[in-house]
Amino acid sequence: MTLDILTPEKKLYSGEATLVQLPGVAGSFEILNNHAPIISALGTGIVRFKNAEGEKRIKISGGFVECLHNKVIVCAESGVAE
């Protein structure tokens, strides 16, 4: 699936991912390939994702995520790669 992690200032990541773990406002959750459509608010925490290069982590401070047709878009208020 494709993953885009965006902030108002810049695009933090754009590419393929096999797993995305997100800090939801009610707790952490994961999105895998062929996930049902979802829109969810995000809290402050770590977005963790896996791709062919391994595992990556980006710290965000709130935002939202949309998943539709194996495309995941994370819109975060701010973010920093760890």
Give the CATH number for residue 56: 2.60.15.10
Exposed e or buried b for every residue in 39-75, given b needs 16+ CB within 10 A?
eeebeebebbbeeeeeebebebeebbbebeeeebbbb
Total domain count, the chain = 1
Q: What's the whole-model pTM score?
A: 0.90
Range of the domain at 51: 2-81
What does the pLDDT profile of the chain (82 residues) look like in tens digits?
A: 999 999 999 999 999 999 999 999 999 999 999 999 999 999 999 999 999 999 999 999 999 999 999 999 999 998 777 6
